[in-house]
Amino acid sequence: MKCLLLGAGYATRLYPLTRERPKPLLPVGGIPILQRICNAVRRVPDVDRIYVVTNHRFVTHYYNWLREAGPTPVPIEIFDDLTTSNDDRLGAVGDIDFVVRSAKINDEMLVIAGDNLFEFDLKDFVKFAREHKGSAVAVKDVESKELAALYGVVDLDKNRRILDFEEKPPVPASTLIAIAIYYFAKDHVPLTRQYLAEGHNKDQPGHYIAWLHKQVPVYAYAFQSGWYDIGDIDSYNKANELYLAQEAANKKTTRRKGKK
């Protein structure tokens, strides 16, 4: 299985923090977001390669991060999509297709947004998708229609297959939203090419899922553990403060155990 981490955005809502640094490399609790995601991905036994896609403006930052990380148990390869601004970017779906074609991926694939802070076990997510014999997306009940309107809202059947998917609906039908963590079955991976050839939205992955679930079976894996959407400076600061507090608490607990 392959894993693709999306890191080619420019995160202008986080300026000045991301003016000279990509959002996935911002530290949260002292650890870059991308590093936290890679740590989670490595716990999935079948993942044998991780790809990171970025733009030409920030590609050096990712190479520096990879060099500083040192040898990794799962090989990491960085792809430069050669774009330099919001005006010429490929978009998230465009970047997925770019890496699939460039790396000649012929395998099942995880795709995760590089700014995604989550706390559920990806092994359970992959197991769920395989058992349902389709592609899958991680979903969470945010318990607020006002908040749900900012995301992709899903409607499911009794087997958790997606019946409807609406990206940022003005009036959400539910509070169950999709987050940017996807599993694509091997046979479904090449479908980005058809989607883009038909002229659909190449940026937000939610639009792709809204199209994909009408072509092939796509299921929703619901989780209840922590998830933090870092969309602006306030949300970044809150997540950073929370993780710093958790790290401090963990160190305190470790010291206590060491004294016993």
User: Which pLDDT value is given to residue 258?
Assistant: 63
Dig out the tokens for 10 from the structure. Answer: 């420019």
User: Which pLDDT value is given to residue 11?
Assistant: 87
Give the architecture-level CATH label for domain 2-137+179-259.
Alpha-Beta Complex (3.90)
pTM (predicted TM-score): 0.92
Q: What is the pLDDT along the chain (260 residues), one digit of tens a residue?
A: 999 999 999 888 899 999 999 999 999 999 999 999 999 999 999 999 999 999 999 999 999 999 998 888 899 999 999 999 888 899 999 999 999 999 999 999 999 999 999 999 999 999 999 999 999 999 999 999 999 999 999 999 999 999 999 989 999 988 999 999 999 999 999 999 999 999 999 988 999 999 999 999 999 999 998 898 888 899 999 999 999 998 787 777 666 666 65
Mean of the per-residue pLDDT values for the chain? 92
Q: Would you list the domain boundaries of the chain? A: 2-137+179-259
Does residue 16 have a cis peptide bond before it, meaning omega lies within 30 degrees of 0?
yes
Strands, DSSP E only, in the chain?
2-6, 27-28, 31-32, 49-54, 76-80, 109-113, 116-118, 135-141, 152-156, 162-167, 176-184, 218-222, 227-229
